[in-house]
Amino acid sequence: MSLLLQDVRHSYALTEVLGGVGLALSPGRVLALVGPSGCGKTTLLHLCAGLLDVQEGRLDNAFANPALMFQQPRLLPWQTTADNIALGLRARGLARADARAKAHAMGAVLGLDAEALAAYPHQLSGGMQSRAALARALVLEPDLLLMDEPFAALDIGLKAQLHRLLLRHQHDKGTAVLMITHDLMEAVRLADTVLVMAAGPGRIVHLHAPAVPALARDDAMVYHDTAELLRVPAVRAAFGLDALQDPGTCSAAPGAGASIAAPAAPASTALPLPGQRLAALQPGAAPGATRKTSCG
């Protein structure tokens, strides 16, 4: 049971937005796809969710019970928070009382109190709405959770709280997660495998597999790994970082407080090419994958 993509290509009209993407996600693993805006992340996620038809390449999704979390909370304004969380359960035919009970329990796990659960979406803060959207996905106990930049609008404190709650649930339930983000540090904090995408057309240009399990990572390690990734030429190119850099200056890793010397080409640079064989994108199998052996 897994999600497998091989040489997946996608075009809108004559514009190719995905130019041969391969990846694999096994049960209980967390995979983050990180890349700049417009590189095709949402398109890729929608292909995985079956919202778009595969035009070219191979996509096998053997997960039986996937759930999708969108970039915006997308709560129904005329339903209470609890009823919004219960929506998927009701759609599955669960009785209203049972669905509500599960919704309340999951809401509580995610920090929504009775007042918030009885409120309507417009009465909730952005952070509360995100908790509700996450609860609505997790209450379905998905074996695969597909997330499209779900925390992009949150401040770092709220983001950190929801990261923790997500990771705890993911660990306890063994949920597989495919998360799309443009936030490199978020990817490094959450994922077992980080795949960096570049645009024009969208393709995977680098794989990074942190050595320490996500729940055991501390800030220092996340900053260190993020800084390490920001030294990789393919990652820098994907985000257009070098184009912004004045000659002779250094760029700082976000939050790390450290400067990075002008990027030498690390031995770890991986450049999976469009259509590259899937095996090369498995953690540990990519010849040039960055793999930390120790952390701060």
Residues in contact with ligand ADP by the rule CB under 6 A:
12, 17, 35, 37-43
DSSP code of residue 231: T
Which of ligand ADP, Mg ion, none does residue 170 bind to, with CB < 5 to 8 Å depending on kind? none
Query: What contacts 143, CB < 8 A, 6 or more positions away?
Result: 1, 27, 63, 64, 65, 66, 174, 175, 176
CA 81 to chain centroid: 24
Angle 283-144-15 (CA atoms, 0-180°, nearest 5)? 75
- Count of residues near Mg ion by CB under 5 A: 2
Would the CA dihedral through 40, 45, 51, 57 be positive or negative? positive
Beta carbons within 10 angstroms of residue 274's beta carbon: 17
- Min. distance of Cβ 50 from ligand ADP in angstroms? 16
Q: Quick one: 40 or 142, whose CB is closer to Mg ion?
A: 40
Write down the residue that tokens 């035009």 correspond to.
55
Question: Looking at beta carbons only, is 46 or 291 nearer to Mg ion?
Answer: 46
**199 vs 234, which CB is nearer to Mg ion?**
199
* Number of other residues whose CB lies within 10 A of the CB of residue 174: 10
Could you tell me the smallest distance in angstroms from the CB atom of residue 15 to Mg ion?
A: 16
Dihedral sign from CA coordinates of 211, 215, 221, 224: positive
Name the segment binding Mg ion (CB under 5 A); options: 40-48, 130-138, 216-224, 232-240.
Answer: 40-48
| Residue 42 is a binding residue for Mg ion (CB under 5 A) | yes
Q: Choose from Mg ion, ligand ADP, none: what does 37 bind? Cβ within 5-8 Å by kind.
A: ligand ADP
Name the residue nearer to ligand ADP (CB basis): 10 or 208: 10
CB of 51 vs Mg ion, minimal distance in Å: 13
Could you tell me the smallest distance in angstroms from the CB atom of residue 83 to ligand ADP? 30
Helix-then-strand count for the chain, H and E: 10, 12
Least Å distance, CB 190 to Mg ion, is 17
Q: In terms of CB distance, is 73 or 107 closer to ligand ADP?
A: 73
Contact partner, 154, from Mg ion, ligand ADP, none, Cβ < 5-8 Å per class: none
- Sole window of 41-49, 75-83, 154-162, 201-209 interacting with Mg ion (rule: CB under 5 A): 41-49
Closest of 54, 37, 77, 78 to residue 3, by C-alpha: 54
The contact set with Mg ion (CB under 5 A) reads 41-42
